[in-house]
Structure 1
Amino acid sequence: MAFSFSPQAVAEYQRLFDTCVINPDRLPEIKPIVNKILSGKSRYEAMSNKLGIPWHFIGITHSLEAGCDFNTHLHNGDPLTARTVQGPKNRPRTGTPPFTWEISAEDALADLANWNDWTVPGMLFKLEGYNGYGYHSKGINSPYLWSFSNHYTKGKFIADNVYSPTAVSKQCGAAILLRRLTETQAAPVEIVDRQSLILQLGETVTFAPTRVVEKARELQKIMNLAGAHLLEDGKAGTNTSDAYQRFTGNFLQGDPRRV
C-alpha cells in the first residue's frame, strides 16, 4: 500500500519532530550545513516568492541533494551543463543546457505546485517523498529525515531497491536541518497543535479493546505527549477512549458511550 498523508502520518510526523533530539556530537557538523543554507537564502526566497514554496524547504532540499551548490541541479546534484543523468533522468525536460539554477529548480519543484500544506507534517511528508517512502516498509524512520537524531540508528538503501539493515547514513537528515533553522529563529514553521492532531487522528480510530491497530498506538502516543498516561499497546479500549473523551468531549467511534 502506498504511503499517504493520512491523519496517522500527520500525527507521527509532528510527534517525531516534537520529540526529536539532535545528537550533540553531530552539532559541529550541522552548523556549517545550516550556515551554507542561510548563505543562499536570497536565491531560495526568490524561488519561494515565485512558486509559493517556503524558502527553507527549497534550501534544505538543495542541501541534501546538491550540497547547496548552485552549479548543479536541485533534482540530484548533477551539473547544470547538461540534463540530469541520475534519477530523475533527462531533466529539465525543456530548454537547452547549460541551465541556470533557477530554471532547473523550477523544474525540480514543479510537482509541488498544487501542494499547500506547509505545516511541519506537510513539509516533512514532501521532504521524505523527495527521497522516497520505502523506509516505512522496513520499519524504521527515514534517515533522509532523521539521521543525526534520536529517531534514527541504522538501516539504509545503499542503491536503488537495495536495502542494508546495518548501513548507517552519514548525511544529516532534513528534519534535523529544519529543527536547527527553527531553533535558531532563522526560519518560521507552522506547527499543528496537539488538540487538532488528537481530534483528526482519533476520528479515524475505532473502539477495539482486543485488537492491536497502529493508528490507535499513534493516538496513544500523541495523547501521552499532551498529558495522558496510557499504555501504548495499540488497543483502543476503555482507557484510550476515556482519554480521547477528555481531550475532545466525545468517546471513540464504536464506543457504546459515544453520543
Structure 2
Amino acid sequence: MISFESLKSEYERNWANLEIRPSRLSDANAIARKAINGKATYQQIERLTGVPWYFAALCHYRESNFDFDTYLGNGETLHRATTLVPKGRGPFATFVDGAVDAFRIENFVGAHDWGIARILFRLEAFNGFGYHAKGCNSPYLYGGSTLYGPPEARAGKFVRDHVFDSNHVDSQLGTAVILHAMMSLDSSITLDGSPQFASRAEPEDDAASTIVLMQQALNKLGANPPLAEDGISGPKTRAAVSQFQQQNGLRDTGLLDGATVGALTRAAQSGPTGPTGDVSRIMKRLEDLAQLLRPPVGGVTPATTTSGNTLPATNDPISLFERLFSLVNKSAPMPGPVTLTPTSPAPVDQLKQVVDLLGTLLNRDGKPVLGQVNGALGETIGKMLDGKKTALGIGGSLITALLSSVTASPNAGGLAGLLGTLVSAVPGLGQFAMPISLALTAWGVLGKMEKWAQGTAPPPKPTT
C-alpha cells in the first residue's frame, strides 16, 4: 500500500543521490530562473496558505509551464469553469485565487511538514504513484537526472491512461531536478520545513481514512480499473469519482465532497442508486415506517425486534437511547481504514432497527400517560413534544435532503457556504439524520390518530 511512511526513506535517499545530467543542466537552470522570477506571486500564495513559494512554482511548471493565466490544479484557463478534474472550479479573478483553491482541494492548507520527503511525496501525488509498481522512478520527479533513464537507471513512461511503455524516456525535466537547480540559484530555499512534532498528523493524512472508505466503495461498485485502496485521491480515484457522480445525478467535480461521500456510502451498502433527492424513495420509507409502527391485529411483543433480538426493558430509557444511538452511528462513516463488506446492514435494515426501538418506546408497561404514542417518552418529554413531532420530523427530513444535495465550495459565501461547510464536516449526513426525521414524522402522525381515537383531540377552530 502506498503511504508517505512507506516511501519516506526512498525519497530521502533519492534526493541525496540526485545528480542533474550534464546535458540537461543548462535547461534546468533556465527553468529554475523562470520559477524564481515569479517568486513574488508565489509568495502571495504562501502567505494565504502556508505552502512554500517554491512548491507552488514547481506545481506551476509541471501543470502549465509558468502560465499565470491558468488554474494551478490542472492548467486550464482561469476565465471559465474547469472541465478537467477537478471540474467546475472557477472562473477565478487571479492566478493566486485559483492556486489557493487548488491547494485547499489537495489538503495542503494548514500542513506543517515541508521537509524534502513530504515535498516529493506531494508532488508525485499530483501525477500518481503508478511508476512504483513498474519498478521505475517517476519522471514527474526525476526526469533529466541520473535517477531516471539509461544508462544509470530504468526508463519508462505512461504514454496514455493505463498504458506504460518501458522503452520511452520522458524528455520533460522533473520537479525534483528543478528544485535542485533553484536551490543552487536562490540560497533562501533551505528545506528546513520539517515539523517540530513528528507525531502531528498532516491534513492529507487526516483525510486518508475517508478516502480509503470511498475507494473501497468505488471498488465494490465496479470501478474499472480497480483502485488502489491507499487513501490518496489521485488521478484514477478522481476519475472514478467523476464517473460515479455522472451516473448518480451529482455535480460532476471528481472530488469527494459531502454529497458524494454520502451517496457513495449509501450505494455501497445497498447497491447502485439513482439520483439523489428522489422523493418517491422518501415516500416509500414513510409508508414502511407507518407499517412498522402499526401494531398487528394479533397483538405486539414490544420487547422483541423483527429479527428476534430482545430489546432492553422499557423501564430503562438510558439503555434504550444508548442502543438507539449505537445503531445510528453504525450507518455513518467511521474513521480508520474501514472495510466495506457485503454483510454490512443496508440502510433500510438499519431504519427498521431504529423503528423497532421506537416501537418499544411506545409501550410504557401498559400505563399510558398522554396516550401510548404521545406519552412514549414519559410525561415531561411527551408534553414537550406534544403537537410538535410531525412538524419537527418533516422539517428535519427537508433539511437533511437539502444538505445531502449541497456540494461544498470553498468559494461559496452566505447560506451556500454554511451548508457546504456542514455537509463537508458530517459526511453521509442523511444516513443517520433522515431515518430519525422520518421516524419522528410517523410518530407525530400516529399521535394525531391516537388523539382522535381517544377523543382527546382539540376541537376545530371556529371560522367566521
TM-score, normalised to structure 1, is 0.68
Structure-2 separation of matches of 1:71 and 1:173:
22
1:39 counterpart residue number: 37
Change (3 A) 1:70 1:64: same
Determine whether 1:136 maps to 2:136.
no
How many Å separate the matches in 1 of 2:54 and 2:17? 21
Aligned to 1:222: none
How many Å separate the matches in 1 of 2:121 and 2:127?
A: 10
Q: 1:190 Cα shift? A: 2.4
Q: 1:170 to 1:186 in 2, by over 3 A?
A: farther
2:192 corresponds to: 190
Indicate if the aligned counterparts of 1:145 and 1:176 stay in contact, CA closer than 8 A: yes
Kindly name which structure, 1 or 2, has the bigger radius of gyration based on alpha carbons: 2
C-alpha contact 2:48 2:100 (8 A) present in aligned 1: no
Match for residue 65 of structure 1 among 59, 63, 66: 63
Contact 1:70 1:101 in 2 (8 A): yes
1:102 is aligned to 2:96: yes
What does the per-residue CA deviation read over 1:60-94, in whole Å, with 9 as the maximum and x for residues that have no partner?
110111111100111121111212223332224xx
- The yes-or-no answer on 1:118 pairing with 2:121 is no
Shift of 1:98: 5.1
Task: Return the alpha-carbon distance in structure 2 between the equivalents of residues 98 and 175 of structure 1.
Answer: 29
| 8 Å Cα contact 1:14-1:121 kept in structure 2 | yes
Provide the rounded CA distance (Å) in 2 between the counterparts of 1:172 and 1:137: 21
Q: Name the aligned partner's letter for residue 171 of structure 2.
A: K
For 1:80, the equivalent position in structure 2 comes to: 78
1:167 Cα shift? Answer: 1.7
Q: 2:188, 2:167 → 1: CA distance?
A: 35
Structure with the bigger percentage of helix:
2
Instruction: Please give the alpha-carbon distance, in whole angstroms, between the structure 2 residues aligned to 1:166 and 1:87.
Output: 29
Q: Tell whether the 8 Å contact from 1:60 to 1:178 is kept in structure 2 after alignment.
A: yes
Amino acid at match of 2:166: P
Contact 1:182/1:189 (CA < 8 Å) preserved in 2?
no
Residue 123 of structure 2: aligned partner: 127
Post-superposition CA distance 1:150-205 (Å, at most 9, x none):
1101211112222221222121101111111122325221288xxx9xxxxxxxxx
Cα distance in structure 1, aligned partners of 2:93 and 2:157: 32
Counterpart code for 1:170: S
**Bigger shift: 176-185 or 131-140?**
176-185
**Matched AA of 2:100:** E
* Higher normalized contact order (CA 8 Å, seq sep 6+, divided by chain length): 1
Q: In the superposition, relative to structure 1, how do residues 82 and 191 fare at CA in structure 2: closer, same or farther (>3 Å)?
A: closer
Q: How many Å apart are 1:120 and its aligned residue?
A: 0.4
Aligned length: 187
Structure 1 residue corresponding to 2:142, chosen from 146, 157, 161:
146
Task: Please report how far the alpha carbon of residue 54 of structure 1 lies from its aligned counterpart in structure 2 after TM superposition.
Answer: 0.6
Query: Which residue of structure 2 lines up, in the alignment, with residue 49 of structure 1?
Result: 47
- Residues 157, 89 of structure 1: alpha-carbon distance in 2 compared, 3 angstrom cutoff: farther
- What root-mean-square deviation, in Å, do the aligned CA atoms of Structure 1 and Structure 2 show? 1.8
Which residue of structure 1 lines up, in the alignment, with residue 4 of structure 2? Answer: 5
Gaps of 5+ in 1: 197-259
